[in-house]
Amino acid sequence: MSGRTKSELRQRVAIGSNPERNRAHNRRVVLEVIRMHEHLGRTEIARRAQLTPQAVANIVEELLEEGLLIELGRLRSGRGQPPIQFAVNPDGPLTAGVEIAADHMVTALLDLSGGIRGQSIIPLPDAGPDVVPGLVAKEVARLEASLGADHNKLLGLGVVMPGPFEVEGMSSVGPATLPGWTGTDPVALFAKATGQHVVVENDATAAVVGERLYGAGRQLGSFCYLYFGVGLGLGVIQDGRPLRGAFGNAGEIGHVGLVPRNGATRYGPAGALERFVSVFALRERLAMAGIYAANVEDIQRLHDEGDKTLLDWITMAADYLAPTVAMLENIFDPETVIFGGGLPDSVLEAVIAALDPLPVSVATRQKRTMPRVIRGQTGRLTAALGAAALPLLDTVSPHLSTAGPAT
């Protein structure tokens, strides 16, 4: 392996390909190299991307003309003429991301550097296809208008929805899979309503992309992400790329039946994991105790007050999640497993603490450099951030893009 470790090979930036037929791929490589290092000169870009200086010069010129890059001037360092530095343009085109959940909608506008230019979380009384596309168009337009008349155009719209997609009768928790969408073409519906280029993805996969780009996974090449939405989803990054599956349904961990640390195995929809471990399951358990928790703030308040029903749920959730973590480690061999999504940070941390002791797995190594399970850093915006990144991936990220080098 030429003296390089497996970790170094996993985390290195994608490299370019000099033939002209791979120009689109090379553009993505150049943009990702610059984005990851904040600012670089042409020579350093060429070295890191493994492209010829002439190829980099041509690509940089194009990206400057398109408003995707900006010139920062010369960096003073050592002798000789200092190199001109280039950076991703934070005032360039924007992308919009929308998470459609069973009872709420999260919207975010991102600039090319990942800066959040607008965000909102609104209730969603009706999550059907006759209503949602119009609401999305209205909310995106409202956030755009808040930026003023001179803001730059949108590159596109990413929409994330809970899966599984196009699987009849497979909904373990009822509202986890949105009713009424089977047989529809969501891309066409959202594109017609908004007039934008639209990419649709399941929520857990978008969430893991958001955490990879903007959260705890920024320096990780391979990790698993358990997404606590209304249901429970799994996102997987392997060698820097999201695992999507043949039909976009990879990671439906919430629909499997597992053995808890204490208790009998449960199978079928009534015994699926997300019937016990999800935001919906928690709210259902609280409701049975006469406690109404409409949002994450209510759950936070209950945790601050030491509510016994919530604390009992945390213990139960950990009993189911501990063997789940070990299973994911044995299957995917990740650097870590990240918990995130629609629960308060303090509740996620309490669940993680209650996992101890975790079962033995391939991750049980004395020389670990990080914990087996950590909390995500992007909170409730995770899926929307990942959604906003989707239209951008083919432009700026060869690792996360669905497209390979041009042929």
**Is residue 77 located within the same domain as residue 185?**
no
**Model pLDDT, residue 68:** 86
The domain boundary, picked from 88, 113, 138, lies at 88
Percentages of the chain per state (helix, strand, coil), in multiples of 5: 40, 15, 45
* Tokens at 184, concatenated: 């529809």
Q: Whole domain around residue 319: which residue ranges?
A: 219-377
Q: Which of 54, 88, 122 is the last residue of a domain?
A: 88
* SS3 assignment, position 373: strand
- How high is the pLDDT of residue 36? 76
How many Cα atoms within 13 Å fall on the side-chain side of residue 196? 29
- Beta partners for 84? 74
d(CA 227, CA 230): 9
CATH number at residue 114: 3.30.420.40
Q: For the chain, what's the residue count? A: 407
103 and 203 inside one domain:
yes
Q: What is the pLDDT of residue 6?
A: 40
Q: Are 262 and 238 within one domain? A: yes
Task: Tell me whether residue 392 is in a domain.
Answer: yes
Q: What is the DSSP string of 114-135?
A: S-EEEEEEEE-S--STTTHHHH
Specify the pairing of strand 116-123 against strand 104-110: antiparallel
191 plus 70 within the same structural domain: no
Q: Is residue 213 part of a domain?
A: no
Chunked into runs of 10 residues, the chain (407 residues) has average pLDDT values of 39 49 76 82 90 91 89 71 85 88 88 86 89 95 83 82 58 56 88 91 84 85 91 88 79 76 52 86 94 91 96 95 95 96 94 96 91 90 84 56 38
Compute the chain's Rg from CA coordinates.
22
Residues 127 and 144 in one domain: yes
| Residue 405 falls inside a structural domain | no
In this structure, is residue 342 part of a structural domain? yes
Q: Do residues 116 and 185 both lie within one domain?
A: yes
In a domain? residue 402: no
> Of 212, 234, 170, 233, nearest to 376 (Cα)?
212
Q: Which of 204, 193, 245 is nearest to 226 (CA)?
A: 204
pLDDT at 8 (0 to 100)? 38
- Contacts of residue 77, defined as CB under 8 A and 6 or more positions apart, other chains included, come to none
Do residues 372 and 233 both lie within one domain?
Answer: yes
- 77 found inside a domain: yes
Distance of CA 201 to the CA centre of its chain: 10
In a shared domain, residues 76 and 101? no
- Please check whether residue 361 is in contact with residue 335, taking contact to mean a CB–CB distance below 8 angstroms: no
Whether pTM > 0.85 for this model: the answer is no
Q: In what order do the strands lie in the sheet with 232-238?
A: 241-242, 232-238, 223-228, 337-341, 373-375
Largest Cα–Cα separation, the chain: 73
Residue in this structure with the two tokens 């002439």, named with its chain if needed: 54
**Token pair 């719209």 in the structure block, residue:** 157
If asked whether residues 152 and 81 sit together in one domain, one would say: no
Cβ neighbours for 352, distance < 8 A, ≥ 6 positions apart: 339, 373, 374, 375
- Write down the pLDDT at residue 398: 46
According to the model, what pLDDT value does residue 109 have?
A: 92
If asked whether residues 365 and 388 sit together in one domain, one would say: no
Number of domains the chain contains: 3
Considering the domain boundaries, does residue 288 fall inside one? Answer: yes
Kindly give the residue spans of alpha helices, DSSP state H, lying in 16-153.
23-37, 42-49, 53-65, 132-146
- Domain's final residue, options 88, 121, 146: 88
pLDDT at 151: 60
Contacting residues for 144 by C-beta, under 8 A, at least 6 apart:
94, 109, 118, 151, 154
Determine how many CB atoms are found less than 10 A away from the CB of residue 388.
36
**Are 80 and 183 in the same domain?**
no
- What CA–CA distance (Å, rounded) separates 381 from 121? 9
Q: 249, 164 in Cβ contact below 8 A?
A: yes
Same domain membership, residue 392 and residue 346: no
SS3 of residue 142 by DSSP: helix
CATH code at position 81: 1.10.10.10
3-state secondary structure of 105: strand
Residue 301 is assigned to a structural domain of this protein: yes
